[in-house]
């Protein structure tokens, strides 16, 4: 598979530092890195972004995500390996990624479940991470960035 073009954030080099600054800021929200990695993987699975999945699995392992979680994150509702906080974060990631699937894209019950486990700053970090993952997925899928390619 060949990319249609380089990643747009590479073509317009002023974009990448700004994107990476938001990634760094999202990490300052106080959410465990393992949770951030899980939501990144789940959104990337939904969006079919092989580039982000490839790099995301490596990053998740480095952060300490359990191999059983890596193997079952696509079916997290049916797998016993996720904590209630991780489940709430994954549900939020799915709703934020599938905005067009329902009229109430992120239902109050999904938000409330996340708010039971994460404070406002942590919710901000999660929301930024999920939003950025969706942005990177859309850039990579649209331009057909292949797994394992370097920018």
Residue identified by tokens 């465990």 is 32
Please state, as a whole number, how many other Cβ atoms lie within 10 Å of the Cβ of residue 18: 10
At 149 the pLDDT is 67
pLDDT of 151 over the 90 cut: no
At 150 the pLDDT is 67
pLDDT in tens, 58-104: 999 999 999 999 999 999 999 999 999 999 999 999 999 999 999 99
pLDDT in tens, 109-148: 999 999 999 999 999 999 999 999 999 999 999 999 999 7
Euclidean distance between CA atoms 29 and 32, whole angstroms: 9
Euclidean distance between CA atoms 39 and 54, whole angstroms: 14
Under 8 Å between Cβ of 70 and 60: yes
């Amino acid at each position: 598979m060949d990319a249609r073009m380089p990643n747009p954030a590479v073509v317009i080099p002023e974009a990448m530092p700004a994107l990476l600054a938001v990634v760094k800021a999202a990490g300052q929200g106080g959410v465990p890195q393992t949770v951030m990695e899980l939501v990144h993987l789940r959104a990337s699975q939904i969006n079919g972004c092989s580039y982000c999945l490839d790099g995301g699995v490596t990053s998740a392992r480095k952060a300490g995500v359990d191999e059983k979680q890596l193997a079952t994150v696509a079916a997290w509702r049916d797998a016993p390996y996720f904590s209630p906080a991780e489940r709430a974060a994954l549900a939020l990631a799915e709703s934020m990624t599938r905005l067009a699937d329902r009229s109430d894209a992120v239902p109050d019950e999904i938000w409330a479940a996340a708010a039971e486990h994460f404070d406002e700053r942590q919710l901000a970090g999660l929301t930024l991470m999920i939003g950025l993952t969706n942005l990177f997925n859309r850039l990579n899928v649209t331009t057909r960035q292949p797994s394992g390619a370097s920018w």
